[in-house]
Structure 1
C-alpha cells in the first residue's frame, strides 16, 4: 500500500497553468444578472416612488415648476439611497458567497493539496472522499469501496458503487460521495460538465421568504391599502371644499405619502444582509438569511464531543491486549504483543488516513515497527463504517497473495462477533471501564483470515479474533468551560450527543464541569422509548452516547416537539439528517464533510464553539436593533399622519399645514435614521443575560406595538399643542408651519436617542459607541437650520424664521413629547432589580 497517493503524481504547476489557459475556470457560468437594472426596475414599482412621480407631475402641470423640480430631485435622491442600500446588502452577501466557496483535494507535483474548487483544471488528479461533493466530471483511476449518490442528475436516491474496472467508471460534478475514497482524473469542468450542460445551477433556485419577511411585507401591504382608502377620503374632502382637482389630489397624495412605511422592508434587507456579513467577520458563515432571525431564539444547542468540546487532537495513550490482560501506557517499553496490536489497528484504518485517530495509529505504527510493510500491499476490499454499534473492516493483499484482514470499531461491536470466552469478555469490559473512566476514547481491534474472493456480504459475518483495545486521549478545548457557562447565562441548554461511550464522555464532561454529566442515555436505549417518554427524556438528559443517525434525528425531533428552538453541531455524513432537521444546523468548517456543510444553515470556519456564543449574541443584537428601527418608524409615522389629517378633518385654521415637499423631507431624515443608525448600534450589556426570545414573538406583539403607538400619539399631542399655540397667538400659516415642523424634527431626534434602548436610560445609551448617531443628527440639525434661517430655502418651503422663544417652545415640546418614556424605563429597571 502506498501512503503517497498510490504513486500518482498529478499535474505540475506549469501543466495546471496551461490547462487553465485552454479550458478556463471550474465554474458554472449562469445567465448574467444585471443587478442595477433589476434594482431600478423594482424601485419604479415602489409605492413611494410612484406617489412622488405623480406629485411632481401635478406640480409641473399646475405650473409650480419649483416644487416640481424639488420633488423630482427628491425622487432621484430616494432612488439613490435605495440603490445604495441595495448595493450595500448585495455586496455583503457576495462577500459571503466568495468566503464560503467549496474546496477540494488534488494531487499536484506528487503532493496532496487543498484548493478552491474553481481552480480545478482538466487533467487534475482529484481526491474524493466519503461525505464530499464531486467538484468536476472525471474518470476513476483508483478507488476503495467507492459509492456515489447521483440523485442530482438522475433522480435516483440509491448510491451507485463504482471503480475503474466497471463500464461506468465516471463521476460527475455535484454528486455526493456516499462511501469510500477515489482518485479521479478530471475530464470536464464548469459548463462542460453534465451538471453544467443540463443547467442545474444553484443560481436558479428561488429564494424563499422568511416568516419575518412575510410578516413585514404583509404589514406594508396593509398600510398601503389604508393609505389608498385615506387618499380617496382626503381627496374627496379637499375637492368638495375647493373643487380644484389638482390641488385636492396633491393634498391627498401628501397624506398617502405620510402613511406608507416604505423604510421597513429596506431596514429588514439591510439588517439581515449586513448581519450576515458581520457574522462572517466573526468566522461564522450564514448560508440562509432566515438563520439570522432564528439565532436569537435558540433554546438548546446539541453539540458533538470530538472536535467541538475536545480539540480533535488524538494521541494514542493506552493499549490493552487480550493475551496479556494488561493495560499499557504508550510511553512504556512495548513488547511484541503490544506492537502487533498497533500493527493490526493500523491495517484496520484507511490507507490514506484523514481521521485523527487513524493518523495517530499510522504514526504509532511507523514509530514502533522497524519494517514498514505499507508500500508492499494494496487495499483489495473494504467494509465502510457501519452497524450499530459501528465498525469497519479493511482487506489488504501483497504481491504473494498474503492477506491482512483487520477491523476496528466500538469494542462492543467486535466483542459480539469474536470468539471469546465469558472470562475474556469480563476482563475486556473491566479494562474498558478502567480506561474510559479516565476520559480515553477506546476502539476495539480484531483480525481474521479468509481465502477466496467471495467475501461475506456483511463484515459481521467474518469469524474475528479479538486482539485488544487501543485508547486515545483527546484533551478538552481550553475555552470550553467558559463557553458552556456563557450558554447557561444566556438561558441556552447544552446537550452532548456523541458516538463515544458513556464512561469516556462522562469523564470529559466532568473535567470541563459540565452540568448534568451524570445523566446519560445510549442510542439503543433511546430507540426503545415511546414518543411521550422520549420527549420527557430529552428534556431531563444532558449526555447522549453511542448515537447513530436515526437516534440523533429522534432527539432533534423530540426537542422540537417540546417547543425548543434547536441548534445542532455536526461534521460527518451521519450528522446530515439531524443538521437538516434542526432549526439551526451548524457544520464545522475544517473537519466538516461537504454533506454536513450542505445540510447545515451555518458553518463555523474554525470549528470553535465559542463562535456560536458570538453568533447568538449577534443574532440577538440584529433582531433587537431591527425591532428598535421598526418601532421608531411606527412611532414617527403616527404624528406625521395625524398632523396632516386632524387639521383637515376638524377644519382648523390651516388645514393643509404640510405639502408633499415637507413629507418627502421628513422621509429623507427617517430612512437613514432607521436603517443606518440602528443597524450600527452595539449589543446592550444585558442581552446575553436574557432568556431566548420565543420564536413566535415578533416586533408586532401587542405590548411593543402599543409602546410605539403611545410614543407616536404623545409626539402628535406635542405637535398639535404647538399648532394650536401658534393659531391662538395669531401667527401666520408659514410661521405655524415652521413651529410644527421644528417640533416634529426635534421629537424625531429625541426619539432616536430614547429608543436606542427600551430598558437603559438615555444617559447610559449616550455612552454607546456609535459614530453614526452624532453624524446623522448633526446633518439633520444643519439642514433644518438651513431651511428655517436661509432665506431662499425658507421661502421655497413656505417657512418663516423663528425667534428664540418660538424655537425653544418647539424644541422643548418635542423633547417633552418623547422624554416621558424615560420614566417608564426607570420603573422597568426598578421592577427588575426587585
Structure 2
C-alpha cells in the first residue's frame, strides 16, 4: 500500500549492486584493527614471555645451548596457546557483532524490504518510523507527524519535527525517530555521514572495566609485585652463595616464573567470550561481556505481558458497538454497526501495520468489507501514541476531499475526550469488565470531524464520538508456567509490568497460575507513592498494569534501592529508559524496536522468555567455572613457589631442585587445564535451585581463598615430604628432583578432578560429561612418561629413571595431598554420600 500511496518504487536490484560497487558498504571505518598484529604486540608485553626471553638469553650466554633452545621453543608454544585462546575469543566476539547489527527498512523494486543497516546504499529509499535508529543520512521525500531526537549530534534533548516543506528536511545516521514515519532518499553512507565525520572523536573512548575485571587485574598486579620482591631476595641469596651473576639470575627467574599467575587474565577473557558465544548459539545475544557476570546475580525479572507472557498472535475476537449495546463474537455474523466499528479501528491504525493488533484489524477489515477503500485514501496527519493512558489518531483524505479521522487507544482515554452520557459510560464500563475478566485486550475506538489544516496541537483537543470497543485475544505461551517456575526455583522474583489494563492483566496472570495475580498497582497509583512506600510496595506486589515510561523507571529504581539485581524485558520506544536503567536490559529480537535493542544489554532472538532461564543458568555456570579455574591456579601455584623457595632459603641438600625448564613445563600443563577443562565443565545439578549470588560478593572472598591456600599448602607438604623422603633414602639430586616432579604432577591431576566441584564427590563429578578431562589428563600422563623413560629427555630435564617403588611413593603422596578435601566436601553435604 505504501508504494501506491507515495508513488515510491525505490532502487532496482541492479542499481543497488552498482551503488554498492561505487560507494561501498554503509560502515563507519575507524581505526584499522589488526587482530593478529595487536595480539602479538600484547603478547610481547606479557611478563611471562619477557621472563622466558631473558632466561633463554642467559642460557645461550652461559653456553647451555640445549636449555636455550628449549626455552625458545617454550616461548613459541606459550605464544601459540595464547594466540589460539585470543583467536577463539575474538572470533566469538565477531559473531556477536553480526547479531547486534541494527536492521532498517528500504523500498526496492517497489516493495518494502528489511535489511541490515550496512547494506543501505546511496540513493536508497529509506523508511524510518517511531522506535527506529536512522541508518544513513538522507533527504525526506514523505513524512507523517515525523520527529527526530538528534541529541547524539547536537546535544539537544528535545525532538525536532521535520517534513519535506521545512528548510531542515534532512535525517542523520545514528539519530532516533521519536514519532511518526518518514521516507528519505539516502544522500550519504558510512564515513561520509555526519556521524562518520565526527566519529574520530569516539575512537579513543576506552570501555570501562567491569568490577570482576578490576578485581582480577588487582590480584594479578599484587602477585607480580610479590614476585618481584621474592625475585630480588632469591637472586640475592643465590648470588651471595655462588658469586655467579648469571646463574643466580637464572635461579631467581625460576621463582619469578612460578609466582606469575598469567593464566588468570587469559582464563577470564576466554570464559567470558566463549560464554557469550555459547549464549549466542542458544539464541541469546549478549552485547557486553560484563552482562555475563551479572546474569548469575539477577534477583528480579520485570516482564512485559504481550509477546513475552503471551504469544503476541493477536486475533480480533469480539467487538462492542456502542450503538448496538451488545458484545458480538467475530466468528458470528456481524451487523453493519460492528463492521463500521472494525472499519474505523483499521483507519486508526498505521497504513503499514507492524503491531500485531493493527495487523489483526487490517485482516478483519479485509474480511468484513467488500470494497477496499485503502488505495483511495492518503494519510494527511498523524498523532502518535501518547497520553496517560495512551491513544493515537490518524487523519486520511481521498482525492474528493473526504476525510476519515479515527482514533483508538485505552478505552478510558477515548472516553475522556468523547461526548458520553452516564448511561453510555456505564454500558462501556460493563463491556470492558466483561471482556477484560476473560483476558481480552481491549481498545476503544472513536471518530471525529474536522475541516481545514490548522490541526489541534494535541489529539485530546478533538471531541470524539465513542464508537465502541474492539477486543483481542492473545493466548499465553504454552511454556510460560514452567519458565516462571524455573525462575522461582532459582530464587528470582518475577513481576509483570505492562501497559495493559488491570483486569486483562490479572485475568491472564490467573490463567497461567502467576503468583500474586490478586494484587496490583497501576501507573497512576504508583506515581503518588512516596519513595519509602514505593520501595515497600514493589517488594510485595507482582502485577503492575497501565504502566508508562516514568512509572516503569520508578519501579526499576525502587527495586535497585532495595538492593535487587534487576532484569527488565521490553520492546518499545517507551521501554528504553527502564531497559537502560536496569542491571540487565532484555529486548525481544523479533518484535523489539531498534531503540529498545540499542538500550538493552541482551537480545532474545526468538522472543522466547525460556531462553532467559538458560541465560541465567549459563551466567551462573560461567561464573562458577571461572572461580574453579582461578582457585585451581592459586592452589597449584603455591606448591611450585614454595618447592622452589623453601629448599633454597633453608639451605637444604639440593637448594635448586627446579630450574626454569621444569617450571615452564608445569606452566604449559596448567594453562590448558584451567582454560580448557574448567571452561567446558557442565553446570552442577543444584546450580538453578540456589539463591542468586549477591552482587556485592567479591570474587576473591576470604573463605574461598583460604580453601585454595590450604589446598596449595597441603600439596606443598606432599612435595617437600617427597623431597625429604628421597634425601633420607640417600638418593641423589636427579632422583630427588624426579620424585618431587612426579609428586607435583600427580597432585595436579588429582586437584583437577577434586576441584571440579567444591560440594559433590569426585565419584559424582567423574560422571559429568566433559570430554576435555580425559584428553588433558592423558596428554599430561604421556608427556610425563616421555620425560621419565625417553633417555634424551630424561637427561635434558636433569631427571633419573625411577624404579617402581620410586614412582609409586610420590604418586601416592601426591594423591593423598589432595584427596583429603573429599572429607571436607562430605562434611558439607551433611555426611550424605552422593
Question: Deviation at 1:734?
Answer: 0.6
Matched, 1:506 2:513: no
Which whole-Å CA distance do the structure 1 matches of 2:99 and 2:543 have between them? 34
Partner of 2:18: 18
Matched, 1:433 2:433: yes
Which whole-Å CA distance do the structure 2 matches of 1:264 and 1:188 have between them? 46
Q: Indicate conservation of the 8 Å contact 2:5/2:375, yes or no.
A: no
Question: Deviation at 1:198?
Answer: 2.6
Matched, 1:581 2:581: yes
Partner of 1:354: 354
Which whole-Å CA distance do the structure 2 matches of 1:399 and 1:480 have between them? 49
- 1:648-667 CA-to-partner distances (Å, cap 9, x unmatched) read 12111111111111111111
Which whole-Å CA distance do the structure 1 matches of 2:806 and 2:210 have between them? 48
- 1:792-823 CA-to-partner distances (Å, cap 9, x unmatched) read 11111111111101100011111111111111
Q: Indicate conservation of the 8 Å contact 2:4/2:375, yes or no.
A: no
Question: Deviation at 1:452?
Answer: 2.1
Q: Indicate conservation of the 8 Å contact 2:3/2:9, yes or no.
A: no
Q: Indicate conservation of the 8 Å contact 2:212/2:699, yes or no.
A: no
- 1:65-89 CA-to-partner distances (Å, cap 9, x unmatched) read 2212211221221111111111111
- Classify the secondary structure of the residue corresponding to 2:521: strand
Please list every run of 5 or more consecutive structure 1 residues that lacks an aligned counterpart in the other structure.
Answer: none
Q: Indicate conservation of the 8 Å contact 1:490/1:692, yes or no.
A: yes
Q: Indicate conservation of the 8 Å contact 1:30/1:201, yes or no.
A: no
Partner of 2:620: 620
- Classify the secondary structure of the residue corresponding to 2:41: helix
Question: Deviation at 1:192?
Answer: 2.1
**Residues 2 and 270 of structure 1, relative CA distance in 2, 3 Å threshold:** closer
Which whole-Å CA distance do the structure 2 matches of 1:130 and 1:247 have between them? 72
Matched, 1:387 2:381: no
Question: Deviation at 1:630?
Answer: 0.2
Partner of 1:230: 230
Partner of 2:773: 773
Partner of 2:444: 444
Partner of 2:798: 798
Matched, 1:647 2:647: yes
Q: Indicate conservation of the 8 Å contact 1:380/1:395, yes or no.
A: yes
**Residues 547 and 791 of structure 1, relative CA distance in 2, 3 Å threshold:** same
Partner of 1:526: 526
- 1:635-690 CA-to-partner distances (Å, cap 9, x unmatched) read 00011111111111211111111111111111111001001111111111111111
Aligned residue runs from structure 1 range 38-57, under 5 A: 38-57=38-57
- Classify the secondary structure of the residue corresponding to 2:487: helix
Partner of 2:312: 312
Which whole-Å CA distance do the structure 1 matches of 2:541 and 2:178 have between them? 32
Partner of 1:143: 143
- 1:148-184 CA-to-partner distances (Å, cap 9, x unmatched) read 1122222222211111121211111111111111112
- Classify the secondary structure of the residue corresponding to 1:466: strand
Partner of 2:637: 637
- 1:463-519 CA-to-partner distances (Å, cap 9, x unmatched) read 111111111000111111111111111111110000000110111111111111112
- Classify the secondary structure of the residue corresponding to 2:678: helix
Q: Indicate conservation of the 8 Å contact 1:19/1:121, yes or no.
A: yes
- 1:580-622 CA-to-partner distances (Å, cap 9, x unmatched) read 0000000110111111011000100011001101111111111
Question: Deviation at 1:536?
Answer: 0.7
Task: Between 362-371 and 653-662, report the one with greater CA deviation.
Answer: 362-371
Partner of 2:208: 208
- 1:532-569 CA-to-partner distances (Å, cap 9, x unmatched) read 11011001000100000000000001111111110111
Which whole-Å CA distance do the structure 2 matches of 1:691 and 1:173 have between them? 44
Task: Between 395-404 and 744-753, report the one with greater CA deviation.
Answer: 395-404
Question: Deviation at 1:319?
Answer: 0.8
**Residues 107 and 5 of structure 1, relative CA distance in 2, 3 Å threshold:** farther
**Residues 685 and 170 of structure 1, relative CA distance in 2, 3 Å threshold:** same
Matched, 1:113 2:141: no
Task: Between 64-73 and 352-361, report the one with greater CA deviation.
Answer: 64-73
Question: Deviation at 1:575?
Answer: 0.3
Aligned residue runs from structure 1 range 415-494, under 5 A: 415-494=415-494
- Classify the secondary structure of the residue corresponding to 1:513: coil
Task: Between 225-234 and 58-67, report the one with greater CA deviation.
Answer: 58-67
Q: Indicate conservation of the 8 Å contact 1:747/1:815, yes or no.
A: yes
Runs of 4+ with deviation above 6 angstroms: 831-834
- 1:219-259 CA-to-partner distances (Å, cap 9, x unmatched) read 00000000111111111111222222211111111111111
Q: Indicate conservation of the 8 Å contact 1:587/1:603, yes or no.
A: yes
Aligned residues: 834
Q: Indicate conservation of the 8 Å contact 2:145/2:381, yes or no.
A: yes
- 1:292-339 CA-to-partner distances (Å, cap 9, x unmatched) read 000011111101000011011111111112222211111121111111
Q: Indicate conservation of the 8 Å contact 1:313/1:475, yes or no.
A: yes
Which whole-Å CA distance do the structure 2 matches of 1:75 and 1:682 have between them? 32
Question: Deviation at 1:6?
Answer: 3.0
Q: Indicate conservation of the 8 Å contact 1:3/1:374, yes or no.
A: no
**Residues 181 and 833 of structure 1, relative CA distance in 2, 3 Å threshold:** farther
Which whole-Å CA distance do the structure 1 matches of 2:103 and 2:323 have between them? 46
Question: Deviation at 1:197?
Answer: 2.5
**Residues 832 and 627 of structure 1, relative CA distance in 2, 3 Å threshold:** farther
**Residues 373 and 617 of structure 1, relative CA distance in 2, 3 Å threshold:** same
**Residues 202 and 284 of structure 1, relative CA distance in 2, 3 Å threshold:** farther
Question: Deviation at 1:146?
Answer: 0.8
Aligned residue runs from structure 1 range 518-557, under 5 A: 518-557=518-557
Task: Between 818-827 and 293-302, report the one with greater CA deviation.
Answer: 818-827
**Residues 751 and 249 of structure 1, relative CA distance in 2, 3 Å threshold:** same
Question: Deviation at 1:22?
Answer: 2.1
- 1:708-742 CA-to-partner distances (Å, cap 9, x unmatched) read 11111111111111111001111101100000000
Q: Indicate conservation of the 8 Å contact 1:3/1:375, yes or no.
A: no
Question: Deviation at 1:200?
Answer: 5.6
Q: Indicate conservation of the 8 Å contact 2:102/2:116, yes or no.
A: yes
Which whole-Å CA distance do the structure 1 matches of 2:352 and 2:142 have between them? 12
Aligned residue runs from structure 1 range 241-280, under 5 A: 241-280=241-280
Q: Indicate conservation of the 8 Å contact 2:30/2:200, yes or no.
A: no
Partner of 1:818: 818
Partner of 1:126: 126
Which whole-Å CA distance do the structure 1 matches of 2:602 and 2:566 have between them? 13
**Residues 220 and 140 of structure 1, relative CA distance in 2, 3 Å threshold:** same
**Residues 129 and 832 of structure 1, relative CA distance in 2, 3 Å threshold:** farther
Which whole-Å CA distance do the structure 1 matches of 2:650 and 2:14 have between them? 83
Which whole-Å CA distance do the structure 2 matches of 1:153 and 1:5 have between them? 32
Which whole-Å CA distance do the structure 2 matches of 1:375 and 1:3 have between them? 10
Q: Indicate conservation of the 8 Å contact 1:135/1:174, yes or no.
A: yes
Partner of 1:370: 370
Which whole-Å CA distance do the structure 2 matches of 1:337 and 1:256 have between them? 87
Q: Indicate conservation of the 8 Å contact 1:52/1:75, yes or no.
A: yes
Matched, 1:221 2:221: yes
Which whole-Å CA distance do the structure 2 matches of 1:314 and 1:200 have between them? 46
- Classify the secondary structure of the residue corresponding to 1:520: coil
Partner of 1:322: 322
Partner of 2:288: 288
Partner of 2:732: 732
- Classify the secondary structure of the residue corresponding to 2:302: strand
Q: Indicate conservation of the 8 Å contact 2:826/2:833, yes or no.
A: no
Which whole-Å CA distance do the structure 1 matches of 2:737 and 2:274 have between them? 38
